[in-house]
Amino acid sequence: MAKDPNPDQGWYYNTRTHQVEHLERSRGVDLLGPYPDEATARRALDIAKERTRQADAADADWNGD
């Protein structure tokens, strides 16, 4: 975890540990976020899946599929 004197106030989901982090955070490569609150950070994987689904649909529309 980083010991930042001015920590980001956002909430993050750690994809390696499957834990929500706030203030002290792990490596950025392992994190999704920031999210505005803990509850939203806990839903990070669902949010990412939905965004991916929407992007895939937009790509399909663009490609005429």
If you count DSSP H runs as helices and E runs as strands, how many of each does the chain have, helices first? Answer: 2, 3
2: pLDDT strictly greater than 60 = no
Q: Which of 54, 41, 38 is nearest to 62 (CA)?
A: 54
Each residue of 29-62: pLDDT tens digit?
A: 999 999 999 999 999 999 999 999 999 999 999 9
**Domain chopping of the chain, boundaries:** 11-63
Element (H, E) at 32: strand 31-35
Q: What is the pLDDT of residue 49?
A: 97
